[in-house]
Structure 1
Amino acid sequence: MAGLGIPLLFLDIDGPLIPFGAPPPGGYPTYRSPYATGPGPGPSSGPDANPLLDRVDPALGRRLLNLPCELVWATTWMSDANACLSPWLGLPQLPVLDWPVANDDEPVGLHWKTRALVARAAGRPFAWVDDEITAADRRWASAHSPAPVLLHRVDHQRGLTDADFATLDAWLRSV
């Protein structure tokens, strides 16, 4: 696979970084992000801020930076990902994937992000971390990407775990 370039890692926020849904036993840990609701500094503090940001473990940033890849936000948060999450996680400003206009001819069961991710990768190997990935997305991406792909589904109630990082690190190093 020489010459394909460093792999991309497309990263969703809701689910992988912000656990949500019915809490696991013991509830969700909180980290008191300055970018969440409540008093304190941060461009997103105040009544309109996202209270779920307190669930984002700031240690995830270091772990993401240690992966052998180029990180790209693949989220509906768009530029808010860089404004709210990058500083909290200690990440640089990351590229943000632009989403295409909705397409009515998507194959049944294909996630609306899948085609855009394969197009943005432009032949580079990539991993996609999301909580909505299906078998249809895996089949489509494998069939339409000339490079290796890993579509890694994260449990939205737990977010990224040690096991997820081990899987990502091993796959990224293998390509």
Structure 2
Amino acid sequence: GGGGAGAGAGGGAGGGKEEDKGVDDEDDGADIVPVAGGAAVREEKVPYLERVWGVLRDAHTLFYSDGIEHRDARFCLELRKRQTLAGVVIAFTGVFSSRDKPESTPLFRTTRAFGARIHADVTPHVTHLVCHPKRGVGSAKFAAAARQPGTAIVAQSWLVASLKQWCRAPEAAHAIPRFEKHAARRPALSAP
């Protein structure tokens, strides 16, 4: 699905009559709904636009607050961005290639920019294990997180959704089940 920031209304420099016709003829089940100012957008975009409006409103409030020394919109947006995952401590499993340094990947850097702290291992401080649904399940980190009741085990899609929406996505929608066989893994006791 494409609907990112580049998918705006208005077409290109030439007006794009053929492009507009192709889009209008599609019946993808999304209704066109009116929004403020008489504009119209596809219904599935409305919640996203409302979230963007909320982020801008928060930055605007911060910009005009008494406690800010330098009125800079970029600073206000950066501060708002860091609030997105503030208090979240993430460990990853199966997400990065073994030949990559996680710190050098865009996902790692963006996660930090949005306020999360990242740990290499699952510790009692880790609030979320971001797990690849195939490569991460069954790993030592998965087993450790499954034994910690306070650690959410979520698919990478949770993190991506949180970053795209500038708010924590619901963990339940992206949860990876804690299998008892993984949670029950304990070091073997030696025989007497």
TM-score band, normalised by the shorter chain?
A: 0.3 to 0.5
Flag the structure with more relative contact order, 1 or 2, with Cα contacts below 8 A and sequence separation at least 6.
1
Q: TM-score, normalised by structure 1?
A: 0.33
Structure with greater helix share of residues: 2
Q: TM-score, normalised by structure 2?
A: 0.31
